[in-house]
Amino acid sequence: MSMERGPTFRLLAGLGVTLSALGVYSIYTVAQMRGLERLQTESIDRNRTDSLLLLRIQNNLNALGLAMRDMLDAGEPYPLTAWQAQFRRLRVDLDDALSREEKFAPATRTADQRKYLAASTAQFWDALDRIFALAATNEAEARTRIRLSLQARQAALSTAVSRLLVQNNENEEQAAAETQQIYSRVERNVYLLLAAMFAVVLITGIYLAQQNRRMFDQVASLSKRRSELAQQLISMQEKTLSYVSRELHDDFGQILTAIGVMLNRAEKKHSAADASLRSEVREVNEIVQATLEKVRAMSQSLHPVVLEEAGLESAFDTFIPMFEKRTGIGIHYEKIGESRDIDGPVAIHLYRVLQEALNNVARHSRSTHADVLLSFSRSSVVLEVKDNGVGFQQKNDAQGMGLISMRERAEIVNGRIEFLDAGGGGAVVRLTIPTMGESA
């Protein structure tokens, strides 16, 4: 037969789904962060380094332009060849900047753009070398070539570098936009995860509330059924005890009484000469009478007839002296309040609690004395049994069923039972049963 799965399976399944969602989100977030790191390292940082090198190249080209302007200045007394050393220094720095810039050039730059900058620079230096060689023989022609060719090459190189700088700026703006998109996606996913977690917590809370309510209903139903079963068992127990008590009192008691009467007659019929026989008959008669007393005491213990005939207080007055005689434990019995008639079911449960409490005193408490208090008030009747023994903390588990029985009887009559440790040692059993309010 298939059994209904409990909430644990569903909760574990929900936990698994939640952990899986967290795992997927974590992997996605890590991938996004690594992508952002690559973007910053490979694109943004590299692009900025390349832009700095391009600015260095542009500064060198501007220095070349200024040097050429100074070469062509008519007021300068130096020949063109005197500027070779300055141009060599600029060439060394420019070549170094170009070689470095080529390493950090962004991947978006085409091969033609890379070749154009290198080729144009090489052509510029080649043309400058030829002009310096021409200046040694024809300085006027060399100046003319500088104006017509070399300055144009320098301007073209400056324009090309400016375009590369603009392209780098555009790449940097694009990378910044991509970075912002990554941050936006991560932020959106955080909100989505929080919303999902809130939904999971809400659903789990509702599910747990429903399951708890369902379990509480089941527990309440089981408790009600247990209480009903306990009432039925106690009712059956009382009926059985009543039946056995009547059988002992009526049948066995009458049989023993009849035997006693017959023994008395037999004793009177024998003459004085039969003293030995009369003594034996008398001894048997005494045994029969003792057995009769025990049967009556047992009958009274099982189901006190006096409880039905004379009421609760008379039953207490009869039982307590019998208990003292049987156990040797002194009992101080006290009644407080105006007596009243107690319903039969309530009376029998009060009587049974008294029996069980005093039996616990005799069996477990090692007490030499006990106090019994029966108190009547306008709204309740209270039975209290107090001993001077070891208390509940020191008692063994043999009394467990007795305590359970007393609790069940208290529930049957809508009462409250308390098991307390008395100050200075001993134990207290207090049963409180509400009653209809009456005038004193």
208-263 residue pLDDT tens: 888 888 888 888 888 777 777 776 777 776 667 666 766 666 666 677 677 777 77
Judged on CB neighbours under 10 Å (0-12, 13-18, 19+), 104 is middle
User: Distance between CA 253 and CA 225 in Å, rounded?
Assistant: 40
Is position 390 within any domain?
yes
Residues 56 and 169 in one domain: yes
pLDDT of 439 > 60? The answer is no
Which residues contact residue 67 at a Cβ distance below 8 angstroms, ignoring those fewer than 6 apart? 83, 86, 87, 90
Which CATH number characterizes residue 416's domain?
Answer: 3.30.565.10
Which CATH number characterizes residue 203's domain?
Answer: 1.20.1330
pLDDT of 85 > 50? The answer is yes
- Which amino acid does the sequence have at 67? A
User: Distance between CA 395 and CA 360 in Å, rounded?
Assistant: 10
Least Cα distance to 434 among 317, 350, 334 occurs for 350
| Cβ pair 312, 393 in contact under 8 A | no
Strand 427-434's sheet: what is its strand order? 330-336, 369-376, 380-387, 427-434, 416-421
Q: Are strands 369-376 and 330-336 parallel, antiparallel or unpaired?
A: parallel
Where helices occur in 104-150 by DSSP H, the ranges are: 111-135, 139-145
More reliable by pLDDT, 169 or 268: 169
The residue from 188, 208, 228 where one domain ends is 208
- On average, the pLDDT of the chain sits at 79
pLDDT of 334 > 50? The answer is yes
108-119 residue pLDDT tens: 777 787 788 888
More reliable by pLDDT, 51 or 111: 51
Residues 169 and 313 in one domain: no
Residues 203 and 333 in one domain: no
pLDDT (mean) for 303-309: 68
CB atoms closer than 10 angstroms to residue 52: 15
CB atoms closer than 10 angstroms to residue 289: 15
Residues 56 and 201 in one domain: yes
The structure tokens 């569903």 sit at 10
User: Distance between CA 372 and CA 78 in Å, rounded?
Assistant: 136
Is position 233 within any domain?
no
The residue from 141, 173, 208 where one domain ends is 208
Indicate the angle between helix axes 312-327 and 344-360, nearest 10 degrees: 20
The structure tokens 């209809």 sit at 436
Token digits for 10? 């569903």
pLDDT (mean) for 130-147: 88
Burial 190-212 (b: 16+ CB within 10 A, else e): eeebeebeeeeeeeeeeeeeeee
Percent of the chain with pLDDT over 70: 81
Is residue 416 classed as helix, strand or coil in its secondary structure?
Answer: strand
pLDDT at 373: 92
Is position 150 within any domain?
yes
Percent of the chain with pLDDT over 90: 7
Domain span at residue 191? 7-208
The residue from 208, 241, 276 where one domain ends is 208
Pick from 163-177, 219-233, 410-424: least confident: 219-233
Token digits for 199? 């939904």
Least Cα distance to 391 among 399, 383, 379 occurs for 399
61-80 residue pLDDT tens: 899 889 888 888 766 677 88
pLDDT of 129 > 60? The answer is yes
- Structurally, the chain folds into a number of domains equal to 2
Is position 297 within any domain?
no
Judged on CB neighbours under 10 Å (0-12, 13-18, 19+), 214 is exposed
